[in-house]
């Protein structure tokens, strides 16, 4: 009985592992193939030496960082204020924050183009305009992450304690609130990074050559380098995910005031 259970347990585990790894291994194998039975790293070199790879990657990374900064600058004070002063508005803000999920990116981009028609050239004509869309796109993830972080600490008491000790709003936010929701802020930031690094629709419709657009172009034109590029972008996503896990493990423990009042 016991033996049977462990057999089926291993079976399902193995099946799960295969489900995730076989496509990756197949992609890896394909990306290294240079003809029947011959393997080479040349497609990786092709990608890494392609100036368009570097340009599009840098563009996307820059946009991601701008999005992170802007999103956090908008959402950290908002989420904090909602928790502190407008707790009754929380369901409303919760709902607003998931709206971008409901609106497909293609609708969003068409809407954005309509809104920005007539906007000055320096804004609408550069890839920076994408950041406006990305902020909306990533808002649900970042807000949710911040919301969880803020729920874990007694925001009101900490704020009042800091104020009574003489801290102004800037000091309260930077010295007390932010350090206590650091893990939430970082995971929100890393989620934003992975989303922006993978967003295709908006950039493609607005005719900007970002990393995902480049990936799509390679995928349509060069078979083996496309496989290599897929693995490269997977690695980036994983690194970000591992970063989230690691940071949560590192910082998560300290957030909770265990022991409480005895």
Partner 1 sequence: MAYLEIVGIRKTFGEVVALDEVTLSIERGEFFTLLGPSGCGKTTLLRIVAGFETPDRGSVQLEGEEITEVPPNRRNMGMVFQAYSLFPNMTAEENVEFGLRVRGWPAAERARRVAELFDLIGLSAARKRYPFQLSGGEQQRVALARALAIEPKVLLLDEPLSALDAKIRVQLREEIRAIQKRLGITTLYVTHDQEEAMAISDRVAVLSHGRIEQIGPPAEIYENPLTPFVASFVGTMNRLEGTVQDGREGLVNYRGIQLRVNAARGRDPGTRVFVFIRPEVVEVRLVGEGDGLKGRIFSQSFMGPVTRLRIALDQGGELIADIPSARAKALTMGMEVIATFPPDAAGILNI
Catalog residues that contact partner 1 under the rule CB under 8 A.
153-154, 157-158, 160-168, 171, 175-176, 179-180, 182, 254-262
**Rg of the chain, C-alpha, whole Å:** 23
In whole angstroms, the minimum distance from the beta carbon of 77 to partner 1 comes to: 17
- Of 125 and 253, nearer to partner 1 (C-beta) is 253
Which residue is it, tokens 């496509």?
23
Question: Quick check: 83 and 155 in contact, CB under 8 A?
Answer: yes
| Cβ atoms 196, 134 nearer than 8 A | yes
- The distance of closest approach from Cβ of residue 69 to partner 1 in the complex, given in angstroms and rounded to an integer, is 22
CB of 82 to partner 1, least distance (A): 18
Q: Residue 39 or 175: which CB sits closer to partner 1? A: 175
Q: Which is nearer to partner 1, 138 or 180 (CB)?
A: 180
Q: Rounded to 5 degrees, what are φ and ψ at 177?
A: -75, -55
What 3-state DSSP class applies to 41? coil
| CA atoms of 173 and 146, how far apart (whole Å) | 14
Q: Which is nearer to partner 1, 109 or 184 (CB)?
A: 184
CB of 178 to partner 1, least distance (A): 9
Distances (CA, A) of 188 to 105, 143, 151, 155, 196: 20, 8, 15, 19, 12
Q: State in angstroms the smallest separation of the CB of 161 from partner 1.
A: 5
> Cβ of residue 186: shortest distance to partner 1, in angstroms?
14
Of 29 and 154, nearer to partner 1 (C-beta) is 154
Residue 123 or residue 175: which is nearer to partner 1 going by CB?
Answer: 175
Q: Rounded to an integer, what distance in angstroms lies between the CA atom of residue 21 and that of residue 9?
A: 18
Query: What's the rounded Cα separation, in Å, for the pair 90 and 102?
Result: 19
Distance separating alpha carbons of residues 94 and 79, to the nearest angstrom? 10
């Amino acid at each position: 009985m016991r033996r049977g259970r462990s057999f089926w347990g291993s079976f399902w585990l193995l099946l799960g592992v295969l489900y995730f790894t076989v496509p990756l291994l197949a992609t890896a194998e394909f990306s290294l193939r240079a003809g029947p039975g011959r393997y080479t790293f040349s497609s990786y070199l092709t990608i890494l030496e392609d100036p368009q790879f570097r340009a599009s990657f840098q563009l996307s990374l820059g946009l991601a960082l701008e999005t992170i900064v802007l999103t956090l600058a908008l959402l950290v004070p908002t989420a904090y204020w909602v928790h502190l002063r407008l707790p009754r508005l929380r369901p409303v803000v919760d709902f607003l924050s998931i709206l971008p999920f409901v609106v497909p990116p293609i609708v969003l981009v068409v809407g954005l183009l309509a809104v920005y028609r007539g906007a000055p050239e320096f804004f609408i004509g550069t890839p920076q305009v994408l950041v406006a869309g990305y902020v909306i796109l990533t808002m649900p993830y970042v807000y949710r992450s911040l919301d969880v972080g803020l729920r874990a600490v007694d925001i009101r008491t900490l704020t009042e304690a800091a104020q009574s000790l003489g801290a102004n709003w800037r000091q309260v936010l930077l010295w007390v609130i932010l350090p206590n929701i650091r893990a939430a802020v970082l995971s929100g930031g890393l989620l934003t990074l992975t989303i922006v690094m993978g967003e295709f629709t908006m950039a493609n419709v607005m005719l900007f050559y970002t990393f995902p657009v480049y990936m799509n172009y390679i995928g349509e034109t060069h078979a083996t380098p496309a496989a290599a590029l897929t693995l490269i972008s997977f690695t980036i996503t994983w690194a970000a995910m591992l970063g989230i896990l690691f940071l949560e493990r590192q910082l998560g423990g300290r957030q909770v005031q265990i022991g409480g009042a005895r």
